[in-house]
Amino acid sequence: MRPLVPVALSILSGIVVSDQLGFSYGPVLAGLSLSIIALVLAYAFRLGFSRLAVLPVFFFTGALLVLPHSSPEFPPGHILNRVQSEDTEAARIGHAIEGRVLEIELVGKRSRILVEVERYREGEEWEASGGKALLTVNGRTDLKPGDRVRTFAMLGEPRTFGNPGEFDYRRWLGKRGIFVTGFIKSERLIEITAESSGGPLNVHGMRDRIGRFIESSGLKHRDSLKALIISGQGGIDKELKDAFASTGTAHILSISGLHVGMVAAFCYGLFLLLMKRSETLLLAVPAKKAALALSAAPVIFYGMLAGFPVPTQRAVIMALAFLLSFALGRGKDYLNTLALAAIIVMALAPYSVWDASFQLSFAAMASIIILVPRMRSYLEGIGKKEKDEGQKTLKAHSIAFLKKRAAPLVLVTVAAGIGTSPVLAWHFNRVSIVGLAANLVVVPLSGIVVPSLFVSAALLPFSEALALIPLKIADLVFNIMAGAARIFSSIPYASSWVSPPPLHEIALFYALIICALRLEWRRARLPVIALAVLLLASYGARGFFNERAPGKLTVTFLSVGQGDASFIEFPDGATMLVDGGGLNNPDFDTGERVIAPFLRSKGIRNIDYMLLSHAQHDHMGGLPFIAENFRVNEFWWNGRGDLGRLGTVLEERGVQARVVNASTPEISVGGATVGILHPAEGMEGLDLNEASVIMKVSYGEESFLFTGDIGKSEPLLSGPALASTVLKVPHHGSRNSSSAGFLAAAAPEIAVVSTARLNSFGFPHKEALERYSALGVRVMRTDLGGAIVVTTGGKGVEARQYLTGSGP
């Protein structure tokens, strides 16, 4: 009997349904009250009381738990209200706030500081405030959780770029109660008004000492080792992270249920070994139960050393639930124990159900619990004939050895891989082909690294010399792990990028696996065939409907911040990517984080033409990743400047590169005409901006003009060739672009501005916008409404913005 499983599923359903349907407090409280009343009456009057009758209570409990996160209410002094009330100029200047540091995370070369805001400066007066603000500052910081700080930051509401397929960062933060983000220009603007004591155990001091000890060791993989004991991946080399990601072993690099489980298993074995050496202890207490109980403290301590980030909190709760279950003699009811852990996590942090780490942890554990016993029963049939006949052949011995020693690890790895693959595809759009083999090598090795690091941390307060011994062991074994990950990742097609599967396909996949492995084949045959046919049909239909509608040309002006990127889908399905954006942030790859998710959301893997208007970072920064991970047939550019990494990738991939100019002949693509208007031959004296490739795409009576960053060279362009329906505004709408003469020649109906919100350049400039307004041109901006999608069948255009769904 597993009473907690339906309870956990009911709470989960309540959380999801409440969030998706936008429940409010009134209906939820009414539903909860009526459910309790009905339950009490049914029990009191013995009206056929059933255990299922309690499930609505838990459903509405789940709905109630998530309301503060899905439907938050902000008091007048909340920092969000302060920020929203400011005008644009005030937002540019910045805000003075005071508060308490909650969390600190190193992300690349920047630090993220989560602050509980307590006061806000209004003019010369400080006023009470509240709410959380996630602040970013360049470099590392010496702040500790619990410190009270005063700082000056550029604050605003968190925003997404606003593109199809994009990770909704704003929603993700909102689920955690964070509605304001900000940037601190310098760490010197942070003043510590009161330092944290670190608590009775001074955990922050211990974490700091461990970090400095590992850093000073000079070991090769010190950044990775720090991530596995005090958390944080900020210092791990990107190439190494990519190697682990492509082999399906990226979970090794961040503290999760696997690592906490390793610490629990190591400590349990150690305590049991020590207790068995004492006859007095063995007679006094049950050794196994005592070892389980004692292992709880090291598990909690490991979580404290990791800084107790949310994923680690979940892992510790799960480990403690299983330790408690085993200690109470209920250890074999694995699903019930897993449900108990899920209930605790959802009660403490209901927003966790949307986290990839939550879904991966529970999917992996549930798959192991459900699938491994069935797979083991299939395995038992292998070699049964030789065993029954009492044969003692080499074959029989080999089979018995493999079943006893190797099979458990293989089965657990296979089950976890099956359970997590849809979640990985959904969140990360990536499936590793070599994941099973890589995990079979890497996971056992991590079982040496993690306990070694834990022992090193435990020995450090007593002797650095002793602590260095297990630390060196951890570094040595991690070096082998890293080498294995690199070898597996070097295998051709080691991983595959995929489009995120829809939820119904994920449900069909899990139903198919459960039917195939949990039911007898005679009973499972028809359900398995039916589910497999449905899954394949859905996948095929998805590929069909992702195709372009015939006879339509669609241009998507992507929102990439201060930069340009546009994607053209021609009537015959051919594609062209024009520029690739690029931010002034080395930790953010526009190609990886914005353009690639957009392309995958449309099921696109091949790009027929890639055009770079000019070789500047805000136009080409995202193109190397795209060229590396998508099949590009041709690359066009003006031949000026340095392509850098993009040039290297194009050469390695064997992509045909063409230098284009006004003399390049027009081409026809799916009934549309593509022509290059600029630069003309003999204009070598122009700078990069003014030498931008200007391309015109015409289809029927409509046309699109892509202008790069031209400005002063606009007078060189004239004539009817410039006439266009849709104009990509030159140079993000700078003051010196979009001259009256140029606009008169282009005569667009719609002008698209690609720029960042509240950018430091002041784009689009007021004077440029006034010139468009004077001509009655409808202006659409990526900074205000996200991506802009314009579609035409050759006569008339339809334009809408992704975030608002509205036209100009």
d(CA 130, CA 123): 18
Estimate to the nearest angstrom the gap between the alpha carbon of 614 and the chain centroid. 31
In sequence order, the 6+-apart residues with CB closer than 8 A to the CB of 242 are 489
Cβ atoms of 21 and 31 within 8 Å: the answer is: no
| pLDDT the model gives residue 439 | 92
Sequence length of the chain is 808
Q: What is d(CA 645, CA 34) in angstroms, rounded to the nearest whole number? A: 64
- CB-side exposure of 16: number of CA atoms within 13 Å? 9
Find all residues with CB under 8 Å of 28, minimum gap 6, and list them. Answer: 18, 60, 63, 64, 67
Please report how many Cα atoms fall inside a 13 Å half-sphere around the Cα of residue 557, on the Cβ side: 33
pLDDT tens digits, 139-192: 888 888 889 999 999 898 888 899 999 988 888 898 888 999 999 988 889 999
CA–CA gap between residue 132 and residue 115 (Å, rounded) = 6
φ, ψ of residue 694 in degrees (nearest 5) = -110, 125
What parts of the chain have a pLDDT lower than 70?
Answer: 1, 46-50, 85-93, 198-201, 233-234, 331, 380-406, 518-521, 543-549, 713-716, 718, 806-808
Closest CA to 451 of 430, 428, 471: 471
**In the chain, how long is the greatest CA-to-CA distance?**
100
| Per-residue burial over 542-566, b = 16 or more CB atoms within 10 Å of its CB, e = otherwise | eeeeeebeeebbbbbbbbbbbbbbb
* In contact, 733 and 705? CB cutoff 8 Å: no
776: which residues sit within 8 A by CB, 6+ positions away?
none
The CATH code of the domain at 79-196 is 2.40.50.140
Query: Residue 201, exposed/middle/buried by CB under 10 A (0-12, 13-18, 19+)?
Result: exposed
Q: Which amino acid is at 480?
A: I
Please tell me the distance from the alpha carbon of residue 793 to that of residue 166, in angstroms, as a whole number: 27
pLDDT at 621: 96
Give CATH superfamily name and number for 553-801: Ribonuclease Z/Hydroxyacylglutathione hydrolase-like (3.60.15.10)
Half-sphere CA count of 482, side-chain side, radius 13 A:
20
One-letter amino acid for residue 591 of the chain? G
What gap in Å lies between CA 772 and CA 728, rounded to an integer?
12
* Cβ neighbours of residue 438 closer than 8 Å, sequence gap 6 or more: 247, 248, 249, 432, 484, 485, 488
Residue ranges covered by each domain of the chain: 4-70, 79-196, 205-353+437-493, 503-545, 553-801
Per the CB < 8 A criterion, the answer to whether 563 and 591 are in contact is no
Q: Given this model, what pLDDT does residue 175 score?
A: 86
Pairing status of strand 606-611 against strand 575-578 = parallel
pTM of the model: 0.85
Task: Give the pLDDT of residue 161.
Answer: 92
Packed helices 356-380 and 503-518: angle between N→C axes, nearest 10 degrees: 20
pLDDT for the residue numbered 261: 93
Question: Please, are residues 712 and 700 in contact by the beta-carbon 8 Å criterion?
Answer: no
Q: Specify whether the CB–CB gap between 590 and 565 falls below 8 A.
A: yes
CA distance 148 to 119: 11
The b-or-e profile of 712-723 (16+ CB within 10 A means b, else e) is ebbeebeeebbe
**Cis-peptide into 679, omega within 30 deg:** yes
pLDDT tens readout for residues 541-588 = 776 665 556 789 999 999 999 999 999 999 999 999 999 999 988 888
